[in-house]
Amino acid sequence: MKIYHNPRCRKSRETLQLIQSKKVEPEVVLYLEKIPTKKEMKDLLKKLNLKASELIRKTEAVYKEQYKNKTLTESQWIDAMLEHPKLIERPIVVKGDQAVLGRPPENVLRLL
């Protein structure tokens, strides 16, 4: 199991804590420091069954300043997330070929 984690995010911390409470120690990926590759992002989106635009944090300043009201292709949204990883909604928890968004944290229970 792997969690794409931002320790400054309350929901991300809650999700990690929930996983650990079930006696599972996931691989923690600090995605703001170790930015996923384009291939990894495409793989995550496939596992989440989401379009790139659905994984964008629309409350982030960079979104409001650079992307709000713009129509981008799937590839362009992925590029935007890789250029500005803060745009990636978090946390993302992956187990095998499945992934869930830890919002709410209880979503992760489907993978445990």
Mind listing the pLDDT tens digit of every residue in the chain (112 residues)?
A: 999 999 999 999 999 999 999 999 999 999 999 999 999 999 999 999 999 999 999 999 999 999 999 999 999 999 999 999 999 999 999 999 999 999 999 999 999 9
Structure tokens at 45: 């989106």
Distance of CA 97 to the CA centre of its chain: 15
The whole-number pLDDT of residue 53 equals 97
The whole-number pLDDT of residue 71 equals 94
The whole-number pLDDT of residue 51 equals 98
Is 9 assigned a catalytic role?
yes
Annotated catalytic residue, options 9, 94, 99, 108: 9
- Which residue, 77, 109, 79, is CA-closest to 93? 109
In order of their start, the domains of the chain are 2-111 (3.40.30.10)
CA 110 to CA 107: how far, in whole Å?
A: 6
The whole-number pLDDT of residue 106 equals 96
User: What's phi and psi for 13, nearest 5 deg?
Assistant: -65, -40
